[in-house]
């Protein structure tokens, strides 16, 4: 991994210094190098239900979360073609790692664009993300993912987009994330994962309603058992801005989303009943975030909610409850020191609700920390 990092860093350095040469040789192309270096520091407390020892544990932390990145973009002067490569940088000792975040190219004709490569898309758009930043290396807490904000992650895909002034439409064919077959069977999909998302916007209002769908199929299952199940989801985000005030909202509904949509627990997947048939697990959730900007300081507060439900938790698995509700709350007061440096103090509380298997508390955790943000 160290060798890979050295090679990638060397390649980025060569790219940066050779950009002017490229521009001279090909006046129609420009290359831009940028990056983001983040460091989280703070205190993390977990209740006894979430620890190995069965006792409440608090610990300090200092680490570099994986949404730090090194990025290269290129684009032709006429804006008909372009691309992006972005590498995630993470340090959580005793290891450090490099990961692929984005790698794609695109071609545009008028208001239409085709894109191919690894990326996310308009479904679950990050344009609506709540600014909950501290804790990616601490139980995967970032942007309330899985705690009120649904995001399908970056995957290889082919996109077709129409972008107008106040309306747009995007269709994407994507690689599915869930690929696990029952014992003795093989997984396959007839069609890739698909998403269809529109946007509507005015000067102060924006929304990207969208739907995602994929059918997971299995070859070689026992006679009488279901040989497939479907994952689908719908999101409705809203963003409203008036002067220094910004309101963000996302509501969503999903069926059998475990693994296919990350940051959600495994219990959000389907339940296979005694007769071999699948029973759908539903997820209903949403988040709301309010931001108010005062000079270089921003005041932020947010709340997230998720409810998971399946009757077969009780009927087939013998659980006490057939649902689980979890909630998250956060406040932050980021301050932008200058164009390249900012600090993001934050407090967040996560309530896991009751464990559906026995009805007892599933625990809670909280984090108080600061993220140092250097961006160039």
Q: Which residue has the tokens 């069965």?
A: 54
- E strands of 126-226, at which residues? 155-163, 167-174, 186-188, 193-201, 205-207, 210-219
Is 26's pLDDT higher than 50? Answer: no
Residue 6 has a pLDDT of: 44
The rounded distance, in Å, linking the Cα atoms of 143 and 132 is 5
How many Cβ atoms sit within 10 Å of the Cβ of residue 326?
21
Q: Mind listing the pLDDT tens digit for each residue in 284-294?
A: 999 999 999 99
For the chain, report the end-to-end CA distance as a whole number of angstroms. 25
Is 5's pLDDT higher than 70? Answer: no
Residue 12 has a pLDDT of: 45
Q: Mind listing the pLDDT tens digit for each residue in 145-172?
A: 999 999 999 999 999 999 999 999 999 9
Q: Mind listing the pLDDT tens digit for each residue in 343-375?
A: 999 999 999 999 999 999 999 999 999 999 999
Average pLDDT over residues 254-282: 96
Residue 29 has a pLDDT of: 85
Average pLDDT over residues 199-225: 96
Is 330's pLDDT higher than 70? Answer: yes
Contact 157, 121 (CB under 8 A): yes
Average pLDDT over residues 129-139: 97
Architecture category of domain 2-375 in CATH: Beta Barrel (2.40)
Is 273's pLDDT higher than 70? Answer: yes
Across all residues in the chain, what is the average pLDDT?
Answer: 93
Residue 27 has a pLDDT of: 55
Using a pLDDT cut of 70, give the percent of the chain over it. 93
For 22, the enclosing helix (H) or strand (E) is helix 2-25
Residue 15 has a pLDDT of: 42
- Tell how far CA 240 is from the center of its chain: 21
């Amino acid at each position: 991994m160290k060798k890979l990092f050295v090679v990638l860093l060397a390649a980025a350095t060569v790219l940066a210094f050779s950009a002017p040469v490229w521009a001279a040789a090909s006046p129609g192309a420009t290359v831009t190098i940028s990056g983001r270096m983040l460091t989280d520091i703070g205190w993390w407390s977990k209740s006894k239900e979430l620890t190995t020892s069965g006792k409440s544990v608090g610990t300090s932390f200092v680490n570099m979360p994986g949404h730090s990145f090194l990025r290269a973009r290129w684009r032709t002067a006429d804006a008909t073609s372009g691309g992006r490569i972005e590498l995630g940088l993470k340090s959580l000792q005793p290891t450090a790692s490099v990961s692929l975040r984005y790698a794609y190219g695109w071609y545009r004709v008028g208001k239409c664009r085709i894109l191919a490569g690894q990326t996310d898309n308009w479904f679950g758009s990050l344009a609506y993300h709540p600014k909950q930043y501290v804790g990616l290396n601490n139980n995967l807490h970032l942007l309330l993912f899985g705690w009120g904000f649904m995001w399908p992650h970056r995957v290889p895909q082919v996109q077709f987009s129409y972008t107008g002034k106040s309306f747009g439409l995007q269709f994407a064919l994507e690689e599915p994330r869930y690929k696990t077959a029952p014992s003795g069977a093989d997984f396959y999909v007839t069609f890739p994962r698909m998403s269809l998302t529109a946007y509507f916007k005015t000067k102060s209002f924006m929304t990207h309603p969208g739907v995602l769908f994929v059918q997971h199929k299995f070859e070689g299952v026992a006679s009488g058992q279901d040989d497939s199940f479907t994952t689908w989801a719908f999101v409705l985000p809203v963003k409203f801005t008036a002067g220094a005030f910004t309101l963000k909202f996302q509501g969503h509904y999903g069926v059998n989303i475990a693994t296919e949509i990350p940051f959600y627990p495994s219990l959000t997947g389907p339940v296979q009943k005694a007769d071999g048939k699948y029973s759908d697990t539903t997820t209903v959730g949403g988040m709301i975030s309010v931001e108010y900007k005062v000079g270089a300081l921003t005041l932020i507060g947010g709340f997230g909610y998720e409810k998971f439900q399946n009757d077969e938790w009780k009927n087939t698995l013998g659980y006490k409850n057939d649902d689980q509700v979890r909630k998250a709350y956060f406040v932050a007061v980021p301050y932008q020191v200058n164009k390249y440096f900012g600090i993001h103090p934050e407090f967040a509380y996560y309530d896991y609700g009751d464990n559906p298997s026995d009805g007892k508390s599933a625990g809670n955790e909280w984090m108080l920390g600061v993220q140092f943000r250097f961006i160039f």
